[in-house]
Amino acid sequence: MTRKYSSTSVEQLLDSPMGAADTTLSLDNTAAVTALLGGVSLAAGNVDQFTVVVDPDTASEEIIFVRGNSGNQLTGLLRGQAGTSATTHSAGATVKHVLTSNDLDYYTSGVDASITASSTTTLTNKTIALGSNTVSGTIAQFNTALTDGDFATLAGTETLTNKTLTTPTINDGKINLTLNAQTGTTYTLALTDNGRLVTLSNASAITLTVPTNASVAFPTGAIVNIQQIGAGQVTVAGAGGVTVTSTPGLKLRAQYSAASIVKVGTDSWTLIGDLSA
């Protein structure tokens, strides 16, 4: 509810008696209502509030919140406000616009007592402490309400980026290898080959080179899978300063033989698989 005020309001007189339960107040004419409102317009639907007092400074003083007007009447009255009580008033009683303790309390606390839990209110730059408040709703409702991103759900399919999983339980986990098909007679491992299967196919002999850490910084523990799928035999060789250990040798044994190259130190690798000298 929007509170309305006027510094040019002119006090008026009650045109007819008011009962304690009446929700309308009659003045002499429309011009009297306009003068009392002092230029304030009250929107339809009882969404605005204009404060008046009837019988001020008497035993019958009553603060009333006015929420609308029609013709010579003030309508949508909320009776007995700001510590006063709804009571009867005689024709000719003084009616004037006032600022009340209720208004001052409202601006002091920043909270309008007329706002209820069911009201529709826009909050800006407010902090909601989750420890002392409950935010209710479904995941779908939260996702619709948020503009910066969605909540992850336990039942949904989510993409996790830069997240650390500590001792997770993975049920029926599957990792699909990415293939890197090479058809030349030489190939030097690239950082993107980590965790991949590099296939090597050529009729002539093939040399696969493991680069230095200075040129390609594979992490320690990196694994590159390789397979000879052509007739040309594959030989694994370390670049200058790189040591590759294996037994019985550094060659894949035959067509369709496979092996894994594992980084065990800065420039140290081990070759494990179907090998020959």
Task: Give the model confidence (pLDDT) of 199-221 as tens digits.
Answer: 999 999 999 999 999 999 999 99
Residue 22 lies in a domain: yes
Q: What's the whole-model pTM score?
A: 0.46
Residues 191 and 271 grouped into a single domain: yes
Position 154 scores a pLDDT of 62
Half-sphere exposure of 79 (CA within 13 A, CB side): 14
Residues 187 and 271 grouped into a single domain: yes
Residue 255 or 149, more confident: 255
63 forms bridges with which residues in the sheet? 53, 81
Half-sphere exposure of 55 (CA within 13 A, CB side): 17
Residues 104 and 197 grouped into a single domain: no
Residue 131 lies in a domain: no
Tell me the residue range of the domain where 207 lies: 179-276
Position 125 scores a pLDDT of 82
Picking from 84, 109, 134, the residue at the C-terminal end of a domain is 109
Residues 105 and 197 grouped into a single domain: no
Residue 151 lies in a domain: no
Q: How far is C-alpha 231 from the chain's CA centre?
A: 57
Residue 58 lies in a domain: yes
Residues 8 and 88 grouped into a single domain: yes
33 in helix, strand or coil? helix
pLDDT category of residue 152 using cuts at 50, 70 and 90: low
Read off the tokens for 168: 């997770």
Position 76 scores a pLDDT of 96
Position 130 scores a pLDDT of 80
Residue 188 lies in a domain: yes
Residue 249 lies in a domain: yes
pLDDT category of residue 151 using cuts at 50, 70 and 90: low
What's the whole-number average pLDDT of the chain? 91
pLDDT category of residue 170 using cuts at 50, 70 and 90: confident
Q: What is the number of other CB atoms lying within 10 angstroms of the CB of residue 140?
A: 11
Answer whether residue 171 shows pLDDT above 90: no
Picking from 109, 131, 157, the residue at the C-terminal end of a domain is 109
Q: Residue range 224-228: average pLDDT?
A: 98
Report the CATH number that the domain containing residue 207 is assigned in CATH: 2.60.120
| Number of domains observed in the structure of the chain | 2
Q: What is the number of other CB atoms lying within 10 angstroms of the CB of residue 184?
A: 11
Position 132 scores a pLDDT of 84
Residues 53-76 as b/e (b if ≥16 CB within 10 A, e otherwise) read bbbbeeeebbbbbbbbbeebbbeb
Q: What whole-number distance in Å separates Cα of residue 251 and Cα of residue 208?
A: 10
Contact 27, 64 (CB under 8 A): no
Residue 146 lies in a domain: no
Residues 100 and 183 grouped into a single domain: no
Picking from 57, 89, 109, the residue at the C-terminal end of a domain is 109
Q: Which amino acid is at 33?
A: V
Position 12 scores a pLDDT of 97
pLDDT category of residue 5 using cuts at 50, 70 and 90: very high
Residue 142 lies in a domain: no
